[in-house]
Amino acid sequence: MTEAGGAEHSRVLDLEPPRPGPGQVAVDVAYAGLNFVDVMARRGDAAYTGSWPHHPGKEVAGTVRALGEGVTHLAVGTPVVAATRAGGLAEVALADAALTVPVPAGVPLHVAATAPLGLATTLLLLTDAGRFAPGESVLVHSAGGGVGTAVARLLPHLGGGRLLGTVGRPEKTAAALRNGYHAVHARGTDPAELAARLRADNDGRGIDLVLDPLGTAALALDLDLLAPGGRVVLFGNAGGGAPDPLPPLPRLLGANATLTGFSHSSLLTHAPAKVADAIRRALDLLAAGRLDTPVTVLDGLAAVPAAHDLLAAGRGEGKYVVAPGQPS
Ligand SMILES: NC(=O)c1ccc[n+]([C@@H]2O[C@H](COP(=O)([O-])OP(=O)(O)OC[C@H]3O[C@@H](n4cnc5c(N)ncnc54)[C@H](OP(=O)(O)O)[C@@H]3O)[C@@H](O)[C@H]2O)c1
């Protein structure tokens, strides 16, 4: 990605394969996950692009190609997944050894590729940040996307609960319902009407946990719907504009609300073991055949800009990965 904008600034280039530095691993990438964070970087959203050119891609699956100095717990040729800080959308990617996890036998690499960012984030949102307890109600905004789909697949393994969602377009409701949501509504209707519908979907009760990647755009709705003691986890800013100030203290006190922030990128730096644990947990569920994660596979890196266009327009469906070595 050479400058802020859209697909017109994305190029597939032949570069020298990167070599791992101390504590790093080079991975021959079989599949790389696409994520909305790459679209935010492409748009040039503040705090998502440090400099240009930007090499996107934050999760990969493949085999260990080379080990950097001091890396002893992995071997060349081992199938692994890795949370890359950038540069995952490539044939060869670098990752910290601490964020590189062997793939258990029986887990296909195109599915494993969704673990380092997508599934790990979803597990951490529900458990660590969201403190989900079995039987609780959960509202997810952007229910039809990669994370939204993963919530529906993971929730039953955490004890199950009532799962409600919103999507940006009415045509996305059917897929989210098929994926396991109990009720899904398109946003854009009158907020009071949307709140009334969601409350009715939860039998008139407050919602225990809201997972919200919409910046502050839906925060008033979230707080209106929240059960006393409920939690709102803010984990994105999909619209990309400047977020509004957070609600005044009396609003939070009156709602008995917990407002939590979540950033996978920040955890990579400040608590990598937490992310690695979540990746292992996701892989274990996949290995046990307990997690059915639908994935759309793109052939070749040249197909990525058009898929990013879909995500940028809010038209993506579920989770996308790319096989970088395949011709488009
Ligand atoms: N904090 C973290 O560490 C972290 C980690 C992973 C993902 N996330 C966030 O979680 C969300 C889901 O990620 P994902 O990779 O699975 O992506 P995704 O859900 O497959 O795609 C992003 C979705 O954002 C919604 N959206 C809302 N406003 C939008 C706008 N103005 N322009 C474009 N899309 C808009 C769209 O769904 P609807 O229109 O249906 O809502 C779109 O499909 C993203 O917002 C992402 O940034 C955060």
CA 112 to centroid of ligand 1, rounded, Å: 20
Q: Is the pLDDT of residue 328 over 70?
A: no
What is the tens place of the pLDDT at every residue in 294-311? 999 999 999 999 999 999
d(CA 75, ligand 1 centre) in Å: 35
Question: Structural domains in the chain?
Answer: 7-114+293-323 (3.90.180.10), 119-264 (3.40.50.720)
**What mean pLDDT is reported for the chain?**
96
Q: Whose CA is nearest to atom 18 of ligand 1?
A: 145
Residues 122-171 have pLDDT tens digits of: 999 999 999 999 999 999 999 999 999 999 999 999 999 999 999 999 99
Cβ distance 151 to 138 under 8 Å? Answer: yes
**pLDDT at 206 > cutoff 80:** yes
The residue assigned the tokens 């050479």 is 2
Distances (CA, A) of 185 to 146, 196, 198, 288: 17, 11, 8, 33
Cα(249) to ligand 1 centroid in Å equals 28
Cα four-point dihedral sign 86, 142, 314, 281: positive
Expressed in angstroms and rounded, the spacing between residue 314 Cα and the centre of ligand 1 is: 8
pLDDT in tens, 243-281: 999 999 999 999 999 999 999 999 999 999 999 999 999
**Identity at 104, one-letter amino acid code:** P
Residue ranges around ligand 1 (CB below 6 Å): 35-37, 121, 141-142, 144-148, 167-168, 172, 213-214, 235-236, 238-239, 262-264, 311-312, 314, 316
Strands (E), the chain: 24-33, 60-67, 79-82, 92-96, 100-102, 137-141, 162-167, 183-186, 207-212, 226-234, 258-261, 295-299, 319-323
Tens-digit pLDDT profile for residues 46-77: 888 878 999 999 999 999 999 999 999 999 99
Phi/psi of residue 106, each to 5°? Answer: 90, -10
CA distance 328 to 231: 44
